[in-house]
Amino acid sequence: MAYREVDMWEILNVLRRLGRGESQATVARHTEHCRKTIRRYVTTAAELGWSPGGEEPTEELAATIYRRLRPSGDGSPGEVEQRLLPHREQIREWLKAPPGKKRGLQLTKVHGLLRRRSGVDVPYSSLHRFAIKHCGFRERRRVTLRRAECDPGELAEVDFGKLGLIPHPETDRRRTA
């Protein structure tokens, strides 16, 4: 699932469902949040003194959880983004394709280089969002192949390769399949 912004009301909805005894898997299915996100909400709510099955979650609780999990809601850079901003030009340079090459370094390699050379250890997903936002990552179009729209049995695809030696049913001689 792609990263998306949530609001306080979605958090309140998740907590209310959990408070009614729904499982995290059921809540995830109905709210389109992953179970990991739901666990973060529950853990943060527990730190604030709320537990499922107890009292009804309040709007104040949901607002506090929202502020804790999304501290930079005013548009200013978050903690990880602030740590990456001084290295923006270096990240751009690593991602830029050198002359004669189609592309620069992979983002996983950049993630490792940042940790080793600069001592900046951030989650990969945060680096990915930063690279998209500040370094032009993923701006170029990717080549995709369209699948032919056809009815069943109208088109056949064949892969070639060697399966091994198989006995022929009539001659009982082993042949390459």
pLDDT tens-place values along the chain, 177 residues long = 333 456 788 889 999 999 999 999 999 888 888 888 899 899 999 999 998 888 899 999 988 888 887 755 556 677 788 899 999 999 999 998 889 888 888 999 999 999 999 899 988 888 988 888 888 887 554 555 666 677 888 877 777 778 788 888 888 888 887
Q: What's the CA gap between 139 and 79, in Å, rounded? A: 25
Question: Is 169 part of a structural domain of the chain?
Answer: no
Task: For residue 87, give its domain range.
Answer: 79-134
Which phi and psi angles does 176 have, rounded to 5°? Answer: -75, 130
pLDDT the model gives residue 162: 80
101 lies in a domain?
A: yes
Interatomic CA distance for residues 52 and 65, integer angstroms: 15
Q: Is residue 107 part of a domain?
A: yes
Same structural domain for residues 40 and 84? no
